[in-house]
């Protein structure tokens, strides 16, 4: 179905003339509705801003939180986009891969806490936790690929989707039955760093003695004034953002510069020709799953560190939102997934207050974005990067 | 050595599965549920299933290697599972794992050591595992038909044992026995002497009448009531009523059916025969003092079920042969007569089944309607709709809004601002259920069109996700607090009334309210018949054929001149209408519309029905609904594991039967297309 | 013992029988061509040899070793390399990356670098465009890239699937010159699948004719060139 899957070439230079836009709008009533909607939203937002219902410090706070949340979405979205790019299937159970990392991370961090390591060697303990989250997610993802997806490589497209849905339910329930119904809670973590950087925050004077431990990267909450705005800043949001960006950069490097990354791109474009190059296609597919799962697992632990609560169901909604993000950015497109995740995180965080809607509607906003992007621009904002055909 | 490797492979896989399940606490929570009184608990059954499964799979793989190897493989398979469990028990004893696995607070060793000390318990476990493995191997070496009968017999006995409490009041043993005997005799006689359907029917009728007379005579001479008194069976209306004419009718019809099915289509024959066996099993279950199946009951049930599984298919083949030899009109006559009787049985059933079972059947029925509707969308038009529950919700909420005091019916005034006394004058918009039902169907169809227009051009998996998104959006919106005035937020809309059949214009006392489970039952039954009839009609129509072309190959269909968007939209709207119909019924069944009943899981449930039972066929949907909705509802203690089993079922179904989504007719179509393509290719290359 | 021998191959697509008992051999150092019309099964034959569509029955042997059921990447390792129909170069990777990918199974960095150089020597235009994306090349350049890519795998036998397809006559001549020189100068054994029977029979030593999954003729290229039936069917006579 060549006309249905549009390759990156078609989207590389969108025509941006006003006349062209106008012409196409009139021809397509749906587009008209979309533009009206967009204008309406802008008007509401502006009026609230000018009317003082929505303040700059609210915006700053929500922006920071949105970026942190968005980077988690981006980490998960990368898994979706990698798998879709190479197999043309939606790994519906990827949200549970994310959850597995967070959940197993809980057991590890609790054990480390009980052994006292969390306090004495915080950084090491955290690294071990993230690592075990990664391992757990990878195991789940590889099991999924081998058991549920590989036998269905050549089945009609909808069959693996249904399998994935079944696997998603299975994993959720398995964790629920095995590990219990009560929500688990990550312990409070304190990681002190940069003692010289923020002396007014990181130092405390006790009995006349000034001790500078630095700011608490994980558990800290600081009230600061930036650019005249009163903000409550949580360093962990910044930490999550930068760590996530680092992981994504590593992925980008692997895909663009290494031999295996080349193989991944080749397999993603044309499987059988890649096989003719001597590439073990099955192995490359497994590696793709592993990379996506590693990012999701790390994301899971990071998510749990600032959210602190884990349950078997924490994967479902972030999973769908991450998929939305992947599609927003253009599925198959790695920078697109990153962009989509951050975009969705920020919009989801900022929009309810900006538009005067209830916080209850956060999820509605995300789902609506999913629906809207799939209807109006299914190739995503940055364009799809897909194989020409499935086999 | 290959045999051992193979056996180990299967054994270890199942050992892993069993251990994981053990860690979920399945053995401890099922230990209290008895299947056979004092003899077999559900926990033992589960253990048995896994041991037999492991042994069976290993043995099957080793079958070509000969008897001894098969037996060896079976034993190894069973031992793997046993050993894994033994390790688990030892581990549990040594280390406290209940922080990670909270269910281990009830230690597994309490159950799996059979009450003995660790050493003997584990030894017994291992011996048992080996033994079960060997038994499985033995089973594998039996002829296939015998295998099937034994396995089915065991399964049915287990299910009956679990349902014992619910089914014991359906029909007393003497009634069931009388009916079954009549059925059997009529069947045998028609088999032996019946030449044509008419003769078969007459033979059956005579047998039935004779039976009625005999029963009547027995009752007059107090033989039967004695039997009845001795067992003192508790039952809903007993079939063996006093009046002779009634007896003649009941037994006569039974006889006629038993005669006719000896020359009916295979499906009909099998269904009727299975019903007769079920009736007898229900009779056996009818025991006086206990809620749990007894030894004797279990044995009888097993023998009956196994015999049925063995004999019925044989009879079905023969009956089908006779059926095919008939003329079209005769075939139709036979099928219709049996259907008519079947319908009568369905209509007469509620008083026998009792409130609990009737209510379960109501839910099953609603899901059947949903399944028929989604089948139009997925099965006929090939569109994977994951947001089907949205239309279900629309139906329920529409019905709710129109039949209760609400923003719509009270002229724009929120319901909670109106006093009870003012309701009748302010809320003039309140409709009867029937009116609301029609509006609900129409509104749902319109929603289907509206939702369909923007999304129908998307490719398959994107379409599925968008519909999922829509479903979730609708659920979140009706739950939204700011819409409380209209939708009632988390509390939903309450006090939806039951339908009232108001024929007072004809006769003053003809006013029936469909109360109770049985009221809903008839409503659901009517809905199913309507839906099934419409669906069958659609499949045969021109629209149905264009859907078939669409499914087989979209591009070819378009080239043939079919307007793809139009037929997809029609399918979508029709499916939505069915869901709306079901939704309104659900609304009145639950006396309200509550947002948390309309989750993604419902959509997935309905989809699974179609896949697992269905392949697009209506009998399949019925079976699917019973298995996926009815069983879990009836077996409450399995509720914890229901979703887990569900997910596993979806995955395995796709692995085992990946083209289960394609109805057989579509497969033939694509083969025809392929052959045509081959021919063209050859012609071009010459 | 032939370098490559396929024996009584039956390959199916689903239930459609594409190859019905195909047998052929290729000796070391030869150019053998397989000609036939559209849909005869030529590409299927190559895909069967390379392990992409394994046959239901029959054997594929490389120097006597049975490679019928090996996975594709192992077959490439053994030196059976295909230049697929339609070039199938990776449009989203650069020219250089395409060539590097051709050597995917190899580990010797210096050897790979040296071979890339020799490919550039043979096809100077590729060197000019080495950092451009594959999708920006013209048809003829893509064909050269595809051949170069295959050469990177150090093939013992090179399978070419319709190299002339979609190319202008001048380019076709150029490509066939490359094929001849590969065989003559480097001694590469070649199995050439072609619809352009004229050119194929001109360069090949021996030829097979494939029709609807059957081999109908097998002879030296010289003889088939003068065979009236062949002339009529395939050589525009």
Q: Which residue has the higher pLDDT, B289 or B389?
A: B389
| Residue A3 pLDDT class (50, 70, 90 cuts) | very low
Q: Is the pLDDT of residue C236 over 70?
A: no
CB distance C76–A266 less than 8 Å? no
C163 interfacial to chain B (CB closer than 8 Å): no
In a domain, A332, yes or no: yes
| Residue B196 pLDDT class (50, 70, 90 cuts) | confident
Which residues on B lie below 8 Å from C197 (Cβ)?
Answer: none
CB distance C16–B674 less than 8 Å? yes
Q: Is the pLDDT of residue B202 over 60?
A: yes
Q: Which of residues 304-363 of A touch C (CB under 8 A)?
A: none
Q: Which of residues 517-556 of B touch A (CB under 8 A)?
A: 554-555
For residue B663, the Cα-to-chain-centroid distance in whole angstroms is 19
User: What percent of chain B shows pLDDT beyond 90?
Assistant: 18
Give pairs for B293-301: CB < 8 Å, separation 24+. B293/B35, B293/B36, B293/B37, B293/B157, B293/B160, B293/B161, B293/B164, B294/B36, B294/B37, B295/B36, B295/B37, B295/B39, B298/B35, B298/B36, B298/B39, B298/B40, B298/B157, B298/B161, B301/B156, B301/B157, B301/B160, B301/B161
Nearest chain A Cα distance for residue C134, angstroms = 12
| Residue B455 pLDDT class (50, 70, 90 cuts) | confident
CB distance B458–A378 less than 8 Å? yes
**How much is the pLDDT for A168?**
95
Nearest chain B Cα distance for residue C40, angstroms = 7
Q: Is the pLDDT of residue A14 over 50?
A: no
Region A193-199: mean pLDDT is 73
Tell me the pLDDT of chain B averaged across its residues. 83
User: Is the CB of residue B211 less than 8 Å from the CB of residue B182?
Assistant: yes
The model's pLDDT over C168-202, given as tens digits with 9 standing for 90+, comes to: 888 888 889 989 988 888 888 999 998 888 888 88
Choice among B93-102, B280-289, B330-339, B460-469 with the minimum mean pLDDT: B280-289
**How much is the pLDDT for B368?**
94
C52, C93, C101 member nearest A272 (Cβ):
C52
- Of A166, A315, A331, A380, which to mutate for an interface test with B (greatest number of B Cβ within 10 Å)? A166
C14, C36, C212 member nearest B674 (Cβ):
C14
Which residues on C lie below 8 Å from A275 (Cβ)?
Answer: 50-52, 71-73, 76
B671, B674, B681 member nearest C39 (Cβ):
B681
Q: Is the pLDDT of residue A141 over 70?
A: yes
B646 interfacial to chain A (CB closer than 8 Å): yes
| Residue B321 pLDDT class (50, 70, 90 cuts) | confident
In a domain, A112, yes or no: yes
**How much is the pLDDT for A391?**
38
B390 interfacial to chain A (CB closer than 8 Å): no
| Residue C50 pLDDT class (50, 70, 90 cuts) | very high
The model's pLDDT over A169-190, given as tens digits with 9 standing for 90+, comes to: 999 999 999 998 889 999 888 8
Region B661-666: mean pLDDT is 46
- Tell me the whole-structure pTM to 2 decimals: 0.86
| Residue C46 pLDDT class (50, 70, 90 cuts) | very high
Subunits with 3+ Cβ pairs within 8 Å of A are B, C
Q: Is the pLDDT of residue B237 over 70?
A: no
Nearest chain A Cα distance for residue B5, angstroms = 20
Tell me the pLDDT of chain A averaged across its residues. 84
- Of A30, A371, A376, A377, which to mutate for an interface test with B (greatest number of B Cβ within 10 Å)? A371
CB distance C101–A262 less than 8 Å? yes
For residue B22, the Cα-to-chain-centroid distance in whole angstroms is 28
CB distance B681–C38 less than 8 Å? yes
Which residues on C lie below 8 Å from A9 (Cβ)?
Answer: 135
CB distance A278–C76 less than 8 Å? yes
In a domain, A227, yes or no: yes
Total number of domains constituting chain A: 1
CB distance A279–C104 less than 8 Å? yes
| Residue A296 pLDDT class (50, 70, 90 cuts) | very high
Q: Which residue has the higher pLDDT, B218 or B235?
A: B218
In a domain, A31, yes or no: no
In a domain, A23, yes or no: no
The model's pLDDT over A37-71, given as tens digits with 9 standing for 90+, comes to: 888 888 887 887 777 777 778 888 889 999 999 99
**What 3-state DSSP class applies to B395?**
helix
Q: Is the pLDDT of residue B232 over 50?
A: no
Q: Which residue has the higher pLDDT, C199 or A76?
A: A76
Eight-state DSSP code of residue A2 = T
- Of C17, C36, C39, which to mutate for an interface test with B (greatest number of B Cβ within 10 Å)? C39
C195 interfacial to chain B (CB closer than 8 Å): no
Which residues on A lie below 8 Å from B554 (Cβ)?
Answer: 1
In a domain, A292, yes or no: yes
A278 interfacial to chain C (CB closer than 8 Å): yes
Distance between CA atoms of residues B93 and B98, nearest Å: 11
B414 interfacial to chain A (CB closer than 8 Å): no
Q: Which residue has the higher pLDDT, A128 or B430?
A: A128
CATH number of the domain residue A237 falls in: 1.10.3470
- Please give the torsion angle defined by the CA atoms of residues A18, A21, A26 and A30, in that order, rounded to the nearest 10 degrees: -140
**How much is the pLDDT for A355?**
78
Region B613-617: mean pLDDT is 67
Domain holding A237, by residue range, is 68-181+189-376
C102 interfacial to chain A (CB closer than 8 Å): yes
**How much is the pLDDT for A291?**
96
C14, C16, C39 member nearest B684 (Cβ):
C39
CB distance B649–A166 less than 8 Å? yes
User: Is the CB of residue B393 less than 8 Å from the CB of residue B583?
Assistant: yes
Q: Is the pLDDT of residue B252 over 80?
A: yes
User: Is the CB of residue C71 less than 8 Å from the CB of residue A279?
Assistant: no
The model's pLDDT over A341-376, given as tens digits with 9 standing for 90+, comes to: 999 999 999 888 877 777 778 888 888 888 888 888
| Residue B229 pLDDT class (50, 70, 90 cuts) | very low
Task: Give the residue from chain B lying closest to A1, CA to CA.
Answer: B555
Q: Which of residues 116-135 of C touch A (CB under 8 A)?
A: 135
User: What percent of chain A shows pLDDT beyond 70?
Assistant: 89
Nearest chain B Cα distance for residue C4, angstroms = 27
Distance between CA atoms of residues B415 and B187, nearest Å: 61
Subunits with 3+ Cβ pairs within 8 Å of B are A, C
Task: Give the residue from chain B lying closest to A147, CA to CA.
Answer: B655
Q: Which residue has the tokens 């290719």?
A: B681
Task: Give the residue from chain C lying closest to A258, CA to CA.
Answer: C97
Nearest chain C Cα distance for residue B669, angstroms = 14
**How much is the pLDDT for B261?**
86
Q: Is the pLDDT of residue A390 over 50?
A: no
Question: Which helix H or strand E contains B54, and what residues bound it?
Answer: helix B42-62
Instruction: Quote ipTM for the complex.
Output: 0.85
Choice among B88-102, B103-117, B570-584, C208-222 with the minimum mean pLDDT: B103-117
**How much is the pLDDT for A122?**
85
What is the DSSP annotation of A80-143?
A: HHHHHHHHS---TTHHHHHHHHHHHHHHHHHHHHHTTHHHHTHHHHHHHHHHHHHHHHHHHHHH
| Residue B223 pLDDT class (50, 70, 90 cuts) | low
Q: What's the per-residue H, E or C state across C10-59?
A: EEEECCEEEEEEEEEEECCCCEEEEECCCCCCHHHHHHHHCCCCCCCEEE
Query: Which residues on adjacent β-strands are paired with residue C26?
Result: C4
Q: Is the pLDDT of residue A8 over 70?
A: no
CB distance A364–B476 less than 8 Å? yes
Task: Give the residue from chain B lying closest to C36, CA to CA.
Answer: B685
User: Is the CB of residue B631 less than 8 Å from the CB of residue B163?
Assistant: no
User: Pairing relation of β-strands C31-35 and C206-211?
Assistant: parallel
CB distance B685–C16 less than 8 Å? no
Q: Is the pLDDT of residue A219 over 60?
A: yes
Nearest chain C Cα distance for residue B103, angstroms = 46
**How much is the pLDDT for A233?**
83
A168, A363, A374 member nearest B465 (Cβ):
A374
User: Is the CB of residue B100 less than 8 Å from the CB of residue B38?
Assistant: no
Choice among A202-206, B86-90, C77-81 with the minimum mean pLDDT: A202-206
C185 interfacial to chain B (CB closer than 8 Å): no
Region C135-142: mean pLDDT is 89
CB distance C149–A275 less than 8 Å? no
Region A243-250: mean pLDDT is 91
Distance between CA atoms of residues B96 and B93, nearest Å: 7
B77 CB neighbour count, 10 Å cutoff: 39
Task: Give the residue from chain C lying closest to B677, CA to CA.
Answer: C16
The model's pLDDT over B29-65, given as tens digits with 9 standing for 90+, comes to: 888 888 887 788 888 888 999 999 999 888 888 888 8
> In chain B, count of helices (H) and strands (E)?
29, 6
Region B210-226: mean pLDDT is 75
In a domain, A206, yes or no: yes
Q: Is the pLDDT of residue C13 over 80?
A: yes
**What 3-state DSSP class applies to B384?**
coil
Choice among A328-342, B430-444, B648-662 with the minimum mean pLDDT: B648-662
Subunits with 3+ Cβ pairs within 8 Å of C are A, B
Task: Give the residue from chain B lying closest to A151, CA to CA.
Answer: B655
**How much is the pLDDT for B674?**
54
Task: Give the residue from chain B lying closest to A158, CA to CA.
Answer: B461
**How much is the pLDDT for A19?**
60
In a domain, A55, yes or no: no
C14, C15, C40 member nearest B685 (Cβ):
C40
């Amino acid at each position: 179905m060549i006309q249905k899957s549009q390759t990156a070439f078609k989207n590389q230079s969108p025509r941006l003339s006003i006349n062209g836009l106008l012409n196409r709008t009139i021809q397509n009533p749906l587009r008209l509705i979309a533009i009206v909607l967009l204008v309406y939203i802008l008007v509401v937002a502006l009026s609230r801003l000018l009317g003082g219902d929505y303040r700059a410090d609210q915006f700053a706070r929500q922006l920071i939180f949105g970026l942190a949340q968005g980077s988690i979405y981006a980490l998960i979205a990368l898994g979706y986009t990698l798998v879709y790019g190479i197999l043309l299937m939606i790994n519906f159970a990827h949200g549970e891969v994310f959850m597995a990392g967070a959940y197993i991370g809980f057991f590890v961090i609790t054990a480390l806490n009980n052994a006292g390591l969390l306090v004495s060697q915080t950084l090491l303990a955290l690294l071990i936790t993230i690592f075990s989250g990664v391992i757990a997610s990878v195991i789940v993802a590889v099991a999924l690929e081998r058991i549920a997806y590989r036998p269905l490589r050549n089945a009609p497209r909808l069959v693996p989707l249904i399998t994935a849905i079944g696997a998603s339910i299975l994993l959720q329930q398995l964790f629920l039955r095995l590990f219990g119904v009560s929500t688990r809670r990550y312990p409070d973590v304190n990681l002190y760093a940069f003692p010289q950087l923020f002396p007014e925050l990181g130092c405390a004077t006790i009995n006349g003695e000034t001790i500078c431990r630095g700011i608490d990267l994980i558990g800290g909450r600081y009230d600061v004034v930036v650019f005249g705005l009163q903000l409550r800043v949580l360093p962990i949001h910044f930490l999550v953002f930068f760590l996530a960006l680092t992981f994504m950069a590593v992925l980008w490097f692997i895909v663009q510069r290494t031999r295996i990354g080349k193989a991944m791109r080749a397999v993603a474009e044309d499987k059988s020709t890649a096989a003719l190059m001597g590439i073990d296609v099955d192995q490359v597919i497994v590696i793709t799953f592993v990379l996506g799962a590693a990012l999701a697992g790390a994301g899971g632990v990071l998510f749990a560190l600032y959210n602190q609560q884990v349950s078997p169901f924490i994967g479902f909604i972030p999973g769908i939102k991450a998929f939305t993000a992947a599609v927003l950015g253009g599925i198959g497109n790695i920078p697109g997934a990153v962009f989509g995740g951050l975009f969705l995180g920020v919009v989801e965080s900022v929009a309810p207050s900006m538009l005067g809607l209830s916080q209850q509607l956060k999820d509605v906003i995300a789902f609506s974005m999913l629906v809207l992007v799939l209807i109006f621009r299914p190739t995503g904002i940055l364009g799809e990067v897909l194989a020409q055909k499935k086999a | 050595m290959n045999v051992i490797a193979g056996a180990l492979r299967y054994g270890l896989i199942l050992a892993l599965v069993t251990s994981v399940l053990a860690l979920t606490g399945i053995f401890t929570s099922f230990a209290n549920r008895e299947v056979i009184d004092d003899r077999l608990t559900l926990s033992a059954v589960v253990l048995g299933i896994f041991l037999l499964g492991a042994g069976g799979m290993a043995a099957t793989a080793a079958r070509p290697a000969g008897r001894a190897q098969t037996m060896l493989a079976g034993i190894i398979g069973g031992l793997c599972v046993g050993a894994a469990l033994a390790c688990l028990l030892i581990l549990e004893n040594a280390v406290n794992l209940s922080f990670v696995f909270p269910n281990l607070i009830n230690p597994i060793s309490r159950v799996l050591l059979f009450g003995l000390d660790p050493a003997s318990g584990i030894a017994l476990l291992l011996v048992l595992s080996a033994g079960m493995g060997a038994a499985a191997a033995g089973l594998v070496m039996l002829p296939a038909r015998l295998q099937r009968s034994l396995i089915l017999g065991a399964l049915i006995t287990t299910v009956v044992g679990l349902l014992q409490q619910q089914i014991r009041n359906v029909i007393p043993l003497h009634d069931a026995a009388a009916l079954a005997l009549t059925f059997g005799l009529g069947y045998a006689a028609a088999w032996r002497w019946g030449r044509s359907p008419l003769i078969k029917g007459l033979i059956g009728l005579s047998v039935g009448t004779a039976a009625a007379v005999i029963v009547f005579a027995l009752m007059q001479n107090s033989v039967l009531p004695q039997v009845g008194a001795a067992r003192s069976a508790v039952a809903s209306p007993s079939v063996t009523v006093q009046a002779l004419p009634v007896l003649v009718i009941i037994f006569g019809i039974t006889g006629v059916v038993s005669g006719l099915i000896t020359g009916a289509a295979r499906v009909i024959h099998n269904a009727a025969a299975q019903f007769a066996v079920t009736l007898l099993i229900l009779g056996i279950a009818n025991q006086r003092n206990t809620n749990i199946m007894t030894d004797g009951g279990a044995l009888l049930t097993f023998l009956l079920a196994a015999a049925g599984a063995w004999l019925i298919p044989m009879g079905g083949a023969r009956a089908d042969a006779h059926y095919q030899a008939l003329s079209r009109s005769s075939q139709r006559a036979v099928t219709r007569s049996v259907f008519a009787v079947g319908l009568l049985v369905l209509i007469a059933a509620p008083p026998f089944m009792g409130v609990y079972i009737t209510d379960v059947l109501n839910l099953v029925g609603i899901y059947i309607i949903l399944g028929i509707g989604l089948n139009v969308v997925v099965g006929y038009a090939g569109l994977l709709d994951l947001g089907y529950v949205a239309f279900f919700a629309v139906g329920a909420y529409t019905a709710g809004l129109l039949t209760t005091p609400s923003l719509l019916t009270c002229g724009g005034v929120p319901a909670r601002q109106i006093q009870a006394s003012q309701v009748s004058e302010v809320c003039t918009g309140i409709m009867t259920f029937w009116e609301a039902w029609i509006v609900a169907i129409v509104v749902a169809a319109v929603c289907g069109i509206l939702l369909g227009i923007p999304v129908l051009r998307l490719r398959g998996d994107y379409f599925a996700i968008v519909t999922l998104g829509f479903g979730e959006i609708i659920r979140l919106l009706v739950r939204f607090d700011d819409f409380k005035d209209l939708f009632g937020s988390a509390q939903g809309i309450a006090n939806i009334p039951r339908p009232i059949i108001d024929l007072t214009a004809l006769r003053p006392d003809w006013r029936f309210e469909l109360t109770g489970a049985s009221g809903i039952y008839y409503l659901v039954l009517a809905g199913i018949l309507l839906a099934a009839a419409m669906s069958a009609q659609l499949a045969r129509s021109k629209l149905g054929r264009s859907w078939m072309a669409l499914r087989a190959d979209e591009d070819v269909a378009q080239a043939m001149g079919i307007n793809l968007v139009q037929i997809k939209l029609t399918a979508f709207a029709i499916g939505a209408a069915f869901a709306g119909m079901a939704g309104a019924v659900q609304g009145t069944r639950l006396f309200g519309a509550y947002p948390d009943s309309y989750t993604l899981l419902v959509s997935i449930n309905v989809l699974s029905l179609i896949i697992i039972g269905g392949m697009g066929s209506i009998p399949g949907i019925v079976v699917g609904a019973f298995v996926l909705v009815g069983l879990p509802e009836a077996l409450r203690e399995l509720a914890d594991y229901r979703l887990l089993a569900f997910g596993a079922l979806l995955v395995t179904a796709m692995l085992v039967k990946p083209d289960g989504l394609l109805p057989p007719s579509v497969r033939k179509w694509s083969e025809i297309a392929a052959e045509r393509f081959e021919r063209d290719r050859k012609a071009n290359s010459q | 013992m032939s370098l490559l021998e396929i024996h009584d191959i039956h390959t199916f697509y689903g239930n459609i029988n594409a190859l019905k008992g195909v047998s052929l051999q290729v000796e070391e150092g030869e150019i053998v061509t397989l000609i036939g019309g559209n849909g005869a099964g030529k590409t299927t034959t190559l895909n069967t040899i390379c392990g992409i569509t394994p046959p239901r029955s029959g054997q594929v042997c490389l120097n006597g070793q049975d490679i019928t059921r090996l996975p594709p990447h192992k077959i490439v390792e053994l030196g059976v390399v295909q230049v697929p129909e339609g070039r199938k170069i990776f449009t989203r990777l650069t020219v250089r990356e395409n060539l590097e990918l051709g050597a995917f199974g190899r580990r010797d960095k210096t050897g790979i670098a040296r071979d890339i150089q020799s490919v550039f020597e043979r096809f100077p235009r590729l060197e000019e465009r080495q950092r451009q994306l594959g999708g920006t090349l013209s048809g003829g350049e893509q064909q050269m890239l595809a051949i170069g890519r295959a050469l990177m795998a150090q093939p013992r036998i090179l399978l070419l699937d319709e190299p002339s397809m979609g190319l202008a006559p001048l380019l076709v001549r150029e490509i066939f010159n490359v094929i001849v020189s590969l065989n003559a100068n480097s001694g590469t054994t070649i199995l050439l699948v072609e619809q352009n029977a004229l050119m194929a029979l001109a360069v090949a030593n021996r030829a097979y004719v494939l029709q609807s999954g059957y081999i109908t003729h097998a002879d030296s290229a010289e003889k088939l060139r003068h065979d009236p039936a062949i002339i009529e069917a395939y050589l525009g006579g």
